[in-house]
């Protein structure tokens, strides 16, 4: 691949990694709101109220560590696996748009598609690696 392609891979990897790193760290600042919100979500039925803080800690760690590793291009495929694990819950459980109607259906469907797009980017990173400008390829 040419130099232009390598820069595109680098920029895409940084955008993906920074979005997860930022999301993970931001969750710390809104902990109480997230616990309350998740307590009213389908996740509560799946894991129970008492496990929501555990799930949240797990999510913060995976997003933050996975996002940081993706930014560095270090252990990129392992980091991508961590981020796929993080994305499984929102894609499969949190966007139950099919139970909604009208504007709520449209918003839920678009949120679902956004998470599917992100999951696709992670899978591409896993398949093709971090590119030349990374710790893995040093």
Residue 125 has pLDDT above 90, yes or no: yes
Does residue 100 belong to any structural domain of this protein?
Answer: yes
Does residue 137 belong to any structural domain of this protein?
Answer: no
Find out whether 62 and 24 touch, Cβ atoms under 8 Å.
yes
Q: pTM value?
A: 0.90
Does residue 97 belong to any structural domain of this protein?
Answer: yes
Q: What is the pLDDT of residues 9-47, one digit of tens each?
A: 999 999 999 999 999 999 999 999 999 999 998 889 889
Predicted pLDDT at 99 = 86
Instruction: Tell the burial category of 108 from Cβ atoms under 10 Å away from its Cβ (0-12, 13-18, 19+).
Output: middle
The CA dihedral of 49, 50, 53, 57, to the nearest 10 degrees, is: -120
Does residue 134 belong to any structural domain of this protein?
Answer: no
Number of structural domains (the chain) is: 1
Query: 138 falls in which pLDDT band (50, 70, 90)?
Result: low
Does residue 39 belong to any structural domain of this protein?
Answer: yes
CA distance 115 to 122: 11
Q: What is the pLDDT of residues 55-112, one digit of tens each?
A: 999 999 999 999 999 999 999 999 999 999 999 988 888 878 888 899 999 998 999 9
Does residue 67 belong to any structural domain of this protein?
Answer: yes
Q: 53: Cβ–Cβ under 8 A, 6 or more apart, which residues?
A: 35
Does residue 133 belong to any structural domain of this protein?
Answer: no
In terms of residue numbers, what domain contains 97? 3-128
Predicted pLDDT at 92 = 86
Does residue 92 belong to any structural domain of this protein?
Answer: yes
Angle at CA of residue 130, ends 67 and 68, nearest 5°? 15
């Amino acid at each position: 691949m040419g130099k232009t392609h390598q820069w595109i891979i680098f920029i895409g990897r940084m955008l993906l990694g920074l979005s997860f790193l930022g999301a993970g760290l931001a969750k710390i600042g809104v902990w109480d709101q997230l616990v309350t919100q998740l307590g009213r979500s389908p996740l509560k039925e799946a894991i129970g109220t008492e496990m929501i803080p555990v799930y949240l800690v797990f999510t913060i760690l995976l997003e933050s560590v996975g996002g940081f590793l993706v930014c560095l291009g270090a252990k990129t495929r392992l980091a991508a696996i961590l981020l796929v694990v993080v994305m499984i819950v929102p894609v499969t459980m949190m966007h139950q748009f099919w139970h909604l109607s009208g504007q709520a259906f449209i918003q839920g469907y678009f949120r679902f598609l956004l998470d599917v797009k992100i999951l696709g980017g992670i899978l591409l990173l896993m398949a093709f690696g971090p590119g030349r400008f990374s710790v893995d390829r040093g």
